[in-house]
Amino acid sequence: MMDILAIFIAVVAIFFILKIAFKVLKFVLMLGVVALLLYYLMQFGFLSWLLF
């Protein structure tokens, strides 16, 4: 019985760790996409006023 409980706790812990990691990864990827978009817009002169 203790083995089944330990396996269940481990699976739940892995689920929550992956859920948190997915949120962090999604946030980092969104920041990367926004940074890439700003970079390309600056390169083509659409946001040149940001560079003074």
Q: Which two tokens stand for residue 20?
A: 């948190």
Task: Tell me if 13 is assigned to some domain.
Answer: no
Task: Tell me if 31 is assigned to some domain.
Answer: yes
Full domain range(s) for residue 43: 24-52
pTM of the model: 0.60
pLDDT confidence of residue 50 = 65
Q: How many domains does the chain have?
A: 1
For 15-33, how does the pLDDT look when each residue is reduced to its tens digit (9 = 90+)?
999 999 999 999 999 999 9
Q: How far apart are CA 45 and CA 27, in angstroms?
A: 27
- Among the residue ranges 5-9, 24-28, 31-35, 43-47, the one predicted with the least confidence is 43-47
Residue 42 neighbours by CB under 8 Å, 6+ apart: 48, 50, 51
DSSP state of 34: H
Task: Tell me if 34 is assigned to some domain.
Answer: yes
Report the length, in residues, of the chain. 52
Q: How far apart are CA 52 and CA 33, in angstroms?
A: 23
